[in-house]
Structure 1
């Protein structure tokens, strides 16, 4: 595997780890921070982190940003504003592990979307990798017993998370499709998306304030916002955008199958939840599927 592709996969895995932590934070602080407020402050702090780094570049690239026009606004709406509001609203009524599990619909949605929007139907090897990783996911969900799958139930938050996953798939595909319009340094593009997305989140935060939904500026709440801003926003989004540029939307989406594995590992580390045989078996299947799909070269649009 080329060194650039290997680094892209490593970056996507790290992004998945950060997002698994974001799911835990979203659920742990559901009673402390309203969803729109968490989304707004997450990206406001992320913008404060990014502006010193990309401010001069944003000014230099203003003509490229102007040409991107409505495409840039739509990408910011999907990736920053809508996705995060759906995710944090989902956390109100579903568990963190459900958020991770439902988000693993992303590879299938992206595989189909890549064919419809980009004309790039994945190869048979990629589909085989997808099915292998999906089998590992189902083994994790069923805790090593296929009969458990028949008794699963889903909450309203799971539907919201499914909408968030479809939203993210569309963003990833458009990021690939409009690559010619987004000829910017990766961090500069992220800064532009965060700036526009935060502007669109402002009315929703004002709505939270209007209805009296506020949160205390406690150390725990501020630390949670800082984690979502730095790790789950600036670092994870930057790594994701780099991964999509290098590998394509379909292969990058396969990394989402790692999120339940990371959630299980974080649960073991932070909550003392034991790792069972089915965790290792499911993780091995998922990793095998990723390795198989990772050998496929996706053409650039």
Structure 2
């Protein structure tokens, strides 16, 4: 037991490893969401995910939550926005989008998130992005547009725009805002923050889940659906959010967001083996543009840092 505790404490101090674990677990979330999209309604999946995660976390987080309640109340609007953008909205939009979008396309669109984080960091904290970062944002958005239009960026009207892609893009915008808002989070124990944001996210989703159930679309009590809820509640929720929040705390929002580029890599492998999805030409073209944008921003960023030094 002592060895496990010591190993966990060592892991807690390595942000790169924590953020890699978060990216890998979230990639599996996309694959599971796509795998069960025909049998489990999206809002129900998101609601029971956060309800289950909250119930599992409550015995560990409640003692700390009582102590940290004044600090949480002081930053109540930030806490509510974190619960709305990063918990309730993001995953619900992703599951809704995966009904018609492939997992690989959805994961590629996550790659633009780090650059959108720069936009929100500027809007919230007036940290002005460099010209190279703006160029990178433009290239990355062009790459996303290639994926969204399935390789026909200049002739988008020639096909029916996939509504699932629109949901995924809304989810990306929401989580970019969540990451930028983490800087304003109250200085409380990580378990307190996770417990309250997960619980608030489940409460926000409850009326929509009940409405979905009333319309005849409820969570089926099958082994597959229960296993899916257990996975998304324990791995992408508890493990990944804990790792990502800690990684963002140690490295900052902008640097932590860069690790989200690993999601298409992990996800493409998982989607190939579990969903039979194949990488097509427009996926590679979009990924190349996104990668060029990231490289432009990163290289010029390092050059500027050396110049300042």
How far apart, in 1, do the equivalents of 2:202 and 2:26 lie?
Answer: 19
Is 1:188 the counterpart of 2:192? The answer is yes
- 1:166-191 per-position Cα deviation (integer Å, ceiling 9, x unaligned): 11111111111x14xx1011222111
Is 1:83 the counterpart of 2:90? The answer is yes
Cα deviation for residue 122 of structure 1 reads: 4.5
How far apart, in 2, do the equivalents of 1:230 and 1:21 lie?
Answer: 12
Name the structure 1 match of 2:257.
253
Calculate the TM-score normalised by the size of structure 1: 0.80
What is the 5 A alignment of 1:152-301?
Answer: 154-176=161-183, 178-179=184-185, 182-270=186-274, 289=295
- 1:217-253 per-position Cα deviation (integer Å, ceiling 9, x unaligned): 1111111111100111111111111122122222222
Q: Which of residues 106, 109, 116 in structure 2 aligns to 1:102? A: 109
Name the structure 1 match of 2:4.
none
Is 1:65 the counterpart of 2:69? The answer is no
Cα deviation for residue 18 of structure 1 reads: 1.1
- Is the 1:5–1:247 contact (alpha carbons within 8 Å) kept by the matching residues of 2? no
Name the structure 2 match of 1:40.
47
How far apart, in 2, do the equivalents of 1:127 and 1:4 lie?
Answer: 34
How far apart, in 2, do the equivalents of 1:183 and 1:96 lie?
Answer: 35
- Is the 1:107–1:130 contact (alpha carbons within 8 Å) kept by the matching residues of 2? no
Alpha carbons of structure 1 residues 123 and 29: separation in structure 2 relative to 1, 3 Å = same
How far apart, in 2, do the equivalents of 1:37 and 1:247 lie?
Answer: 34
Alpha carbons of structure 1 residues 294 and 189: separation in structure 2 relative to 1, 3 Å = farther
Give the number of equivalent residue pairs.
286
How far apart, in 1, do the equivalents of 2:88 and 2:24 lie?
Answer: 21
Cα deviation for residue 130 of structure 1 reads: 7.5
User: What SS does the corresponding residue of 2:14 show, helix, strand or coil?
Assistant: helix
Q: Is there any run of 5+ residues in structure 2 with no aligned partner, and where?
A: 1-9
The two structures, once aligned, show a CA RMSD in angstroms of: 3.7
How far apart, in 2, do the equivalents of 1:95 and 1:195 lie?
Answer: 30
Q: Is there any run of 5+ residues in structure 1 with no aligned partner, and where?
A: 142-146
Name the structure 2 match of 1:25.
32
How far apart, in 1, do the equivalents of 2:93 and 2:270 lie?
Answer: 23
Name the structure 2 match of 1:144.
none
- Is the 1:130–1:293 contact (alpha carbons within 8 Å) kept by the matching residues of 2? no
